[in-house]
A and B are shown apart, each in its own frame.
Chain A
Protein backbone atom coordinates (compact mmCIF):
# COMPACT_ATOMS: atom_id res chain seq x y z
CA UNK A 1 0.00 0.00 0.00
CA UNK A 2 1.42 3.31 -1.08
CA UNK A 3 -1.25 5.66 0.17
CA UNK A 4 -0.30 8.53 -2.15
CA UNK A 5 -0.06 9.37 -5.85
CA UNK A 6 2.25 7.06 -7.76
CA UNK A 7 5.10 8.66 -9.71
CA UNK A 8 6.32 6.65 -12.68
CA UNK A 9 10.03 6.66 -13.47
CA UNK A 10 11.32 8.17 -16.71
CA UNK A 11 13.82 6.06 -18.63
CA UNK A 12 16.32 8.90 -18.98
CA UNK A 13 18.80 7.05 -21.20
CA UNK A 14 16.53 5.08 -23.51
CA UNK A 15 13.17 6.82 -23.71
CA UNK A 16 13.51 7.65 -27.41
CA UNK A 17 13.80 4.06 -28.63
CA UNK A 18 10.15 3.24 -28.13
CA UNK A 19 8.60 5.48 -30.79
CA UNK A 20 9.77 6.64 -34.23
CA UNK A 21 8.89 10.31 -33.68
CA UNK A 22 11.00 10.37 -30.51
CA UNK A 23 13.91 8.66 -32.27
CA UNK A 24 13.59 11.09 -35.19
CA UNK A 25 13.72 13.97 -32.74
CA UNK A 26 16.84 12.57 -31.08
CA UNK A 27 18.52 11.99 -34.46
CA UNK A 28 17.94 15.67 -35.16
CA UNK A 29 19.43 16.56 -31.78
CA UNK A 30 22.42 14.24 -32.28
CA UNK A 31 23.12 15.87 -35.66
CA UNK A 32 24.56 18.81 -33.73
CA UNK A 33 27.49 16.61 -32.63
CA UNK A 34 28.43 15.82 -36.22
CA UNK A 35 27.84 19.36 -37.47
CA UNK A 36 29.93 20.67 -34.56
CA UNK A 37 32.64 18.14 -35.42
CA UNK A 38 32.61 19.27 -39.04
CA UNK A 39 33.00 22.90 -37.92
CA UNK A 40 36.03 21.92 -35.81
CA UNK A 41 37.61 20.14 -38.81
CA UNK A 42 37.00 23.28 -40.89
CA UNK A 43 38.73 25.40 -38.23
CA UNK A 44 41.59 22.91 -38.16
CA UNK A 45 41.87 23.35 -41.95
CA UNK A 46 42.04 27.14 -41.64
CA UNK A 47 44.70 26.78 -38.93
CA UNK A 48 46.69 24.45 -41.19
CA UNK A 49 46.40 26.93 -44.04
CA UNK A 50 47.79 29.67 -41.82
CA UNK A 51 50.63 27.37 -40.75
CA UNK A 52 51.94 27.01 -44.29
CA UNK A 53 51.78 24.83 -47.40
CA UNK A 54 53.19 21.69 -45.84
CA UNK A 55 50.73 21.73 -42.95
CA UNK A 56 47.80 22.36 -45.30
CA UNK A 57 48.79 19.53 -47.65
CA UNK A 58 49.03 17.20 -44.63
CA UNK A 59 45.55 18.33 -43.60
CA UNK A 60 44.18 17.63 -47.09
CA UNK A 61 45.88 14.24 -47.07
CA UNK A 62 44.21 13.46 -43.73
CA UNK A 63 40.81 14.24 -45.21
CA UNK A 64 41.14 11.34 -47.66
CA UNK A 65 41.55 8.73 -44.92
CA UNK A 66 38.73 6.16 -44.59
CA UNK A 67 37.93 7.46 -41.11
CA UNK A 68 37.60 11.03 -42.40
CA UNK A 69 35.51 10.00 -45.40
CA UNK A 70 33.18 7.96 -43.18
CA UNK A 71 32.77 10.87 -40.79
CA UNK A 72 32.01 13.29 -43.62
CA UNK A 73 29.39 11.00 -45.19
CA UNK A 74 27.71 10.52 -41.80
CA UNK A 75 27.89 14.27 -41.12
CA UNK A 76 26.38 14.97 -44.54
CA UNK A 77 23.53 12.57 -43.79
CA UNK A 78 22.80 14.22 -40.45
CA UNK A 79 23.07 17.69 -42.01
CA UNK A 80 20.52 16.80 -44.67
CA UNK A 81 18.21 15.24 -42.05
CA UNK A 82 18.42 18.35 -39.88
CA UNK A 83 17.97 20.70 -42.85
CA UNK A 84 14.90 18.89 -44.14
CA UNK A 85 13.44 18.76 -40.62
CA UNK A 86 14.17 22.45 -40.15
CA UNK A 87 12.62 23.60 -43.41
CA UNK A 88 9.66 21.33 -42.79
CA UNK A 89 8.77 23.15 -39.59
CA UNK A 90 9.42 26.72 -40.74
CA UNK A 91 5.69 27.29 -41.43
CA UNK A 92 5.03 26.72 -37.72
CA UNK A 93 7.66 29.19 -36.58
CA UNK A 94 7.09 31.82 -39.24
CA UNK A 95 3.46 31.83 -40.35
CA UNK A 96 2.55 34.51 -42.87
CA UNK A 97 -0.88 36.06 -42.54
CA UNK A 98 -2.31 37.84 -45.56
CA UNK A 99 -5.57 39.56 -44.73
CA UNK A 100 -7.86 37.18 -42.93
CA UNK A 101 -6.03 34.00 -43.94
CA UNK A 102 -2.66 32.36 -43.43
CA UNK A 103 -0.48 31.52 -46.39
CA UNK A 104 -0.42 27.71 -46.88
CA UNK A 105 2.56 26.27 -45.03
CA UNK A 106 4.19 24.65 -48.05
CA UNK A 107 4.73 28.07 -49.66
CA UNK A 108 6.85 29.08 -46.67
CA UNK A 109 8.82 25.82 -46.69
CA UNK A 110 9.42 26.04 -50.45
CA UNK A 111 10.50 29.68 -50.05
CA UNK A 112 13.14 28.58 -47.58
CA UNK A 113 14.37 25.84 -49.91
CA UNK A 114 14.67 28.40 -52.73
CA UNK A 115 16.57 30.79 -50.44
CA UNK A 116 18.84 27.89 -49.36
CA UNK A 117 19.54 27.04 -53.00
CA UNK A 118 20.30 30.68 -53.89
CA UNK A 119 22.64 31.21 -50.93
CA UNK A 120 24.42 27.93 -51.69
CA UNK A 121 24.80 29.00 -55.32
CA UNK A 122 26.33 32.34 -54.28
CA UNK A 123 28.76 30.55 -51.95
CA UNK A 124 29.79 28.15 -54.72
CA UNK A 125 30.26 31.02 -57.21
CA UNK A 126 32.28 33.11 -54.74
CA UNK A 127 34.43 30.11 -53.81
CA UNK A 128 35.30 29.62 -57.48
CA UNK A 129 33.70 26.23 -58.05
CA UNK A 130 32.39 27.32 -61.47
CA UNK A 131 35.52 29.20 -62.58
CA UNK A 132 37.62 27.64 -65.34
CA UNK A 133 40.94 28.55 -63.77
Chain B
Protein backbone atom coordinates (compact mmCIF):
# COMPACT_ATOMS: atom_id res chain seq x y z
CA UNK B 1 0.00 0.00 0.00
CA UNK B 2 1.31 3.41 -0.94
CA UNK B 3 2.42 5.59 1.95
CA UNK B 4 2.75 8.88 0.14
CA UNK B 5 2.70 10.15 -3.42
CA UNK B 6 5.45 12.54 -4.36
CA UNK B 7 6.28 14.69 -7.36
CA UNK B 8 9.72 13.50 -8.39
CA UNK B 9 11.36 16.23 -10.44
CA UNK B 10 14.16 14.73 -12.47
CA UNK B 11 16.68 16.65 -14.51
CA UNK B 12 16.78 15.08 -17.95
CA UNK B 13 19.39 15.41 -20.64
CA UNK B 14 19.52 13.23 -23.72
CA UNK B 15 22.48 14.36 -25.80
CA UNK B 16 21.02 13.08 -29.06
CA UNK B 17 17.80 15.10 -28.54
CA UNK B 18 18.35 17.98 -26.12
CA UNK B 19 20.31 21.22 -26.34
CA UNK B 20 20.33 21.61 -22.59
CA UNK B 21 18.98 19.88 -19.46
CA UNK B 22 15.30 20.19 -18.58
CA UNK B 23 13.09 18.95 -15.76
CA UNK B 24 10.52 16.16 -16.02
CA UNK B 25 8.09 15.51 -13.18
CA UNK B 26 6.81 12.04 -12.28
CA UNK B 27 4.06 11.15 -9.80
CA UNK B 28 5.48 8.35 -7.68
CA UNK B 29 3.53 6.39 -5.05
CA UNK B 30 6.11 5.67 -2.34
CA UNK B 31 6.27 3.17 0.46
CA UNK B 32 7.29 4.16 3.98
CA UNK B 33 10.70 2.52 3.71
CA UNK B 34 11.64 3.84 0.26
CA UNK B 35 14.78 5.72 -0.48
CA UNK B 36 15.08 8.11 -3.43
CA UNK B 37 16.68 5.35 -5.49
CA UNK B 38 13.52 3.25 -5.05
CA UNK B 39 11.49 6.10 -6.53
CA UNK B 40 13.85 6.28 -9.51
CA UNK B 41 13.63 2.51 -10.00
CA UNK B 42 9.84 2.80 -9.87
CA UNK B 43 9.95 5.44 -12.62
CA UNK B 44 12.29 3.35 -14.74
CA UNK B 45 10.21 0.16 -14.34
CA UNK B 46 6.72 1.65 -14.55
CA UNK B 47 6.63 5.13 -16.03
CA UNK B 48 9.60 5.89 -18.24
CA UNK B 49 12.15 3.28 -19.30
CA UNK B 50 14.31 5.93 -20.96
CA UNK B 51 15.45 7.45 -17.67
CA UNK B 52 19.16 6.91 -17.04
CA UNK B 53 20.91 6.80 -13.67
CA UNK B 54 23.69 4.80 -12.05
CA UNK B 55 23.17 2.37 -9.24
CA UNK B 56 24.35 -1.04 -8.14
CA UNK B 57 24.41 -2.17 -4.52
CA UNK B 58 21.45 -0.27 -3.01
CA UNK B 59 23.29 -0.30 0.35
CA UNK B 60 25.71 2.66 0.37
CA UNK B 61 28.72 0.56 -0.54
CA UNK B 62 29.30 0.88 -4.29
CA UNK B 63 29.19 4.69 -4.55
CA UNK B 64 27.34 4.63 -7.88
CA UNK B 65 24.16 6.52 -7.05
CA UNK B 66 25.51 9.89 -5.89
CA UNK B 67 23.31 12.72 -7.15
CA UNK B 68 21.92 16.09 -6.12
CA UNK B 69 18.83 15.57 -3.99
CA UNK B 70 16.99 18.81 -3.27
CA UNK B 71 20.23 20.62 -4.07
CA UNK B 72 22.54 18.60 -1.84
CA UNK B 73 24.92 15.87 -3.02
CA UNK B 74 23.88 12.55 -1.50
CA UNK B 75 23.57 8.84 -2.16
CA UNK B 76 20.08 8.17 -3.46
CA UNK B 77 20.17 4.72 -1.85
CA UNK B 78 20.78 6.24 1.58
CA UNK B 79 18.33 9.14 1.44
CA UNK B 80 14.93 8.13 2.79
CA UNK B 81 11.97 9.88 1.21
CA UNK B 82 10.29 10.10 4.61
CA UNK B 83 13.19 12.28 5.81
CA UNK B 84 12.71 14.85 3.04
CA UNK B 85 10.29 17.73 3.60
CA UNK B 86 7.28 18.30 1.36
CA UNK B 87 5.94 16.21 -1.46
CA UNK B 88 8.24 17.52 -4.17
CA UNK B 89 11.72 16.00 -4.49
CA UNK B 90 14.19 17.31 -7.01
CA UNK B 91 16.99 15.09 -8.30
CA UNK B 92 19.79 16.30 -10.56
CA UNK B 93 23.13 14.93 -11.69
CA UNK B 94 26.08 15.77 -9.42
CA UNK B 95 27.18 19.35 -9.92
CA UNK B 96 30.69 20.18 -11.11
CA UNK B 97 30.69 17.28 -13.58
CA UNK B 98 29.58 17.21 -17.22
CA UNK B 99 26.25 15.45 -17.74
CA UNK B 100 26.55 12.30 -19.83
CA UNK B 101 22.82 11.56 -19.85
CA UNK B 102 20.01 12.37 -17.39
CA UNK B 103 21.48 11.68 -13.92
CA UNK B 104 24.70 10.13 -15.21
CA UNK B 105 27.82 12.30 -15.06
CA UNK B 106 31.17 12.00 -16.81
CA UNK B 107 33.71 10.83 -14.21
CA UNK B 108 36.82 10.86 -16.41
CA UNK B 109 38.38 13.87 -14.66
CA UNK B 110 38.18 12.18 -11.27
CA UNK B 111 39.51 8.86 -12.55
CA UNK B 112 42.50 10.60 -14.13
CA UNK B 113 43.26 12.48 -10.90
CA UNK B 114 42.82 9.35 -8.82
CA UNK B 115 45.47 7.59 -10.89
CA UNK B 116 47.85 10.53 -10.49
CA UNK B 117 47.95 10.27 -6.69
CA UNK B 118 49.00 6.59 -6.86
CA UNK B 119 46.36 5.16 -4.53
CA UNK B 120 48.11 1.91 -3.72
CA UNK B 121 50.90 0.72 -1.45
CA UNK B 122 54.34 1.65 -2.73
CA UNK B 123 57.41 -0.11 -1.36
CA UNK B 124 61.06 0.77 -1.90
CA UNK B 125 61.75 -2.94 -2.23
CA UNK B 126 59.08 -5.60 -2.41
CA UNK B 127 59.28 -8.30 0.23
CA UNK B 128 59.37 -11.95 -0.89
CA UNK B 129 56.20 -13.86 -0.08
CA UNK B 130 58.33 -16.34 1.86
CA UNK B 131 59.01 -13.62 4.44
CA UNK B 132 55.33 -13.41 5.27
CA UNK B 133 52.88 -10.52 5.41
CA UNK B 134 53.47 -6.94 6.47
CA UNK B 135 52.10 -6.83 9.97
CA UNK B 136 50.25 -3.90 11.37
CA UNK B 137 49.17 -3.02 14.90
CA UNK B 138 45.59 -1.89 15.67
CA UNK B 139 46.99 1.60 16.37
CA UNK B 140 48.69 1.73 12.95
CA UNK B 141 45.46 0.61 11.29
CA UNK B 142 43.42 3.14 13.24
CA UNK B 143 45.59 5.95 11.88
CA UNK B 144 44.19 5.61 8.35
CA UNK B 145 41.17 3.29 8.54
CA UNK B 146 38.66 6.14 8.37
CA UNK B 147 40.08 7.14 4.98
CA UNK B 148 39.67 3.64 3.56
CA UNK B 149 35.90 4.04 3.76
CA UNK B 150 35.73 6.29 0.69
CA UNK B 151 33.50 4.75 -1.98
CA UNK B 152 34.29 7.29 -4.73
CA UNK B 153 30.70 8.48 -4.89
CA UNK B 154 31.93 11.99 -5.81
CA UNK B 155 29.50 13.77 -3.48
CA UNK B 156 32.52 15.63 -2.08
CA UNK B 157 33.45 16.96 -5.52
CA UNK B 158 29.89 18.14 -6.10
CA UNK B 159 29.96 20.02 -2.78
CA UNK B 160 33.46 21.47 -3.13
CA UNK B 161 33.41 25.18 -4.09
CA UNK B 162 37.09 25.06 -4.98
CA UNK B 163 36.61 22.24 -7.48
CA UNK B 164 33.71 24.18 -9.00
CA UNK B 165 35.90 27.24 -9.52
CA UNK B 166 39.25 25.54 -10.23
CA UNK B 167 38.71 22.41 -12.36
CA UNK B 168 42.44 21.58 -12.12
CA UNK B 169 42.09 21.00 -8.36
CA UNK B 170 42.76 17.33 -7.64
CA UNK B 171 39.89 17.40 -5.19
CA UNK B 172 38.79 15.80 -1.94
CA UNK B 173 38.43 12.07 -2.63
CA UNK B 174 41.66 11.63 -4.61
CA UNK B 175 43.67 13.63 -2.06
CA UNK B 176 42.11 11.66 0.77
CA UNK B 177 43.19 8.41 -0.82
CA UNK B 178 46.71 9.77 -1.17
CA UNK B 179 46.66 10.54 2.55
CA UNK B 180 45.22 7.11 3.31
CA UNK B 181 48.31 5.47 1.77
CA UNK B 182 50.73 8.04 3.18
CA UNK B 183 49.44 7.17 6.64
CA UNK B 184 49.71 3.41 6.08
CA UNK B 185 52.68 1.96 7.98
CA UNK B 186 53.31 -0.45 5.09
CA UNK B 187 53.65 2.33 2.53
CA UNK B 188 56.82 4.16 1.52
CA UNK B 189 55.42 6.26 -1.30
CA UNK B 190 55.04 9.74 0.22
CA UNK B 191 57.88 11.20 -1.83
CA UNK B 192 56.42 9.82 -5.08
CA UNK B 193 53.00 11.27 -4.28
CA UNK B 194 54.35 14.57 -2.99
CA UNK B 195 55.09 15.86 -6.50
CA UNK B 196 51.39 15.55 -7.31
CA UNK B 197 49.80 16.21 -3.94
CA UNK B 198 51.89 19.02 -2.41
CA UNK B 199 51.20 21.44 -5.26
CA UNK B 200 48.83 24.28 -6.00
CA UNK B 201 46.54 21.89 -7.85
CA UNK B 202 46.79 19.51 -4.91
CA UNK B 203 46.39 20.32 -1.26
CA UNK B 204 47.07 24.06 -1.60
CA UNK B 205 44.00 24.68 -3.75
CA UNK B 206 41.88 23.51 -0.82
CA UNK B 207 40.45 26.51 1.06
CA UNK B 208 39.07 24.31 3.84
CA UNK B 209 35.41 25.05 3.18
CA UNK B 210 34.72 21.67 4.84
CA UNK B 211 31.78 21.05 2.49
CA UNK B 212 33.31 17.73 1.40
CA UNK B 213 33.25 16.40 4.95
CA UNK B 214 29.76 17.72 5.64
CA UNK B 215 28.20 15.86 2.69
CA UNK B 216 30.32 12.69 2.80
CA UNK B 217 27.85 9.79 3.23
CA UNK B 218 30.57 7.56 4.72
CA UNK B 219 31.93 10.13 7.20
CA UNK B 220 35.39 9.88 5.69
CA UNK B 221 36.16 13.54 6.47
CA UNK B 222 38.27 14.42 3.40
CA UNK B 223 38.88 17.94 4.75
CA UNK B 224 40.81 16.50 7.68
CA UNK B 225 43.00 14.40 5.38
CA UNK B 226 43.88 17.43 3.25
CA UNK B 227 44.68 19.67 6.24
CA UNK B 228 46.89 16.95 7.74
CA UNK B 229 48.76 16.71 4.45
CA UNK B 230 49.22 20.48 4.44
CA UNK B 231 50.95 20.21 7.83
CA UNK B 232 53.07 17.22 6.71
CA UNK B 233 54.06 19.00 3.53
CA UNK B 234 54.96 22.21 5.37
CA UNK B 235 57.08 20.35 7.92
CA UNK B 236 58.74 18.46 5.09
CA UNK B 237 59.54 21.75 3.32
CA UNK B 238 61.12 23.23 6.45
CA UNK B 239 63.09 20.05 7.13
CA UNK B 240 64.48 20.19 3.61
CA UNK B 241 65.27 23.88 4.07
CA UNK B 242 67.49 23.21 7.06
CA UNK B 243 68.99 20.07 5.58
CA UNK B 244 67.06 17.54 7.63
CA UNK B 245 65.22 16.09 4.64
CA UNK B 246 65.06 12.42 4.00
CA UNK B 247 62.12 10.21 4.64
CA UNK B 248 59.15 12.53 4.79
CA UNK B 249 55.92 11.60 6.40
Count A interface residues, CB 8 Å.
28
Given known pairs A22-B211, A25-B161, the reply for A4 and B15 (CB within 8 Å) is yes
Q: Are B99 and A5 in contact (CB under 8 A)?
A: yes
Interchain Cβ contacts under 8 Å between A and B, 16 examples: A1-B18, A2-B19, A3-B16, A5-B100, A6-B13, A8-B98, A10-B96, A10-B165, A15-B165, A21-B211, A25-B210, A29-B207, A89-B227, A93-B224, A93-B230, A100-B139
A residues at B contact (CB < 8 Å):
1-8, 10, 12, 15-16, 18-19, 21-22, 25, 29, 89, 92-95, 97, 99-102
Asked if B188 is an interface residue, CB under 8 A from chain A, the answer is no
- The minimal Cβ–Cβ distance linking A85 to chain B, given in whole angstroms, is 9
B122 within 8 A of A: no
Option from A1, A8, A12, A99 in Cβ contact (under 8 Å) with B99: A8
A29→B209 CA distance, assembly (Å) = 9
Instruction: Take A12-B165, A100-B139 as given contacts and tell me if A6 and B99 are in contact as well, using a CB distance cutoff of 8 Å.
Output: yes
Known: A21-B209, A25-B211. A6 touches B98 (CB 8 A): yes
Residues of chain B contacted by A15 (CB below 8 angstroms):
161, 164-165
B-chain residues with CB within 8 Å of residue A6 when the two chains form the complex: 13, 15, 18, 20-21, 98-99
Contact B209 A25 (CB under 8 A): yes
Closest CB-CB distance, B182 to chain A, in whole Å?
14
Q: Mark B116-156, 1 if CB is under 8 A from A, else 0.
A: 00000000000000000000001100110000000000000
Contact-residue size bin, chain B (C-beta under 8 Å from the other chain) = 35 or more
Residue numbers of B with Cβ under 8 A of A are 13, 15-21, 71, 95-96, 98-100, 106, 138-139, 142-143, 161, 164-165, 207-211, 213-214, 221, 223-224, 227-228, 230-231
Chain A hits for B161, CB < 8 A: 15-16, 22, 25
Q: Does A97 lie within 8 Å of B139, measured CB to CB?
A: yes
Are B210 and A5 in contact, CB atoms less than 8 angstroms apart?
Answer: no
**B228 contacts across to A, CB distance below 8 A:** 92-95
Also in contact, A92 and B227, with CB within 8 A (given A5-B100, A10-B165): yes
Task: Note all chain A residues with C-beta closer than 8 A to B138.
Answer: 100
Give chain A nearest CB distance to B100 CB in angstroms.
5
Q: Report A9 CB to chain B, min CB distance, Å.
A: 10
Contact A7 B98, beta carbon cutoff 8 Å: yes
9 A-B pairs closest in CB distance: A92-B224, A5-B98, A93-B227, A25-B209, A6-B99, A100-B138, A7-B98, A100-B139, A5-B106
Which residue on chain B has the smallest CB distance to residue A102?
A: B142
Using Cβ atoms and an 8 Å threshold, which residues of chain B touch A1?
15-19
**From A2, A5, A21, A100, contact of B214 by CB (8 A):** A21
Q: How far is the CA of A92 from the CA of B21 in the complex (A)?
A: 38
Q: Which residues of B contact A10 (CB under 8 A)?
A: 96, 164-165
Shortest Cβ distance from residue A109 to the other chain B in the assembled complex, whole angstroms: 13
A92 in contact with B19 given A8-B99, A97-B143 (CB within 8 Å): no
Give A21 to B72 CA distance when docked, in angstroms: 12
Cα-based distance from A101 to B146 in the complex (angstroms): 12
User: Are the C-beta atoms of A100 and B142 separated by less than 8 Å?
Assistant: yes
In addition to A5-B99, A18-B71, 13 A-B residue pairs with Cβ atoms within 8 Å of each other are A2-B19, A6-B20, A15-B161, A21-B211, A21-B214, A29-B207, A89-B208, A92-B210, A92-B223, A94-B231, A95-B228, A100-B139, A102-B142
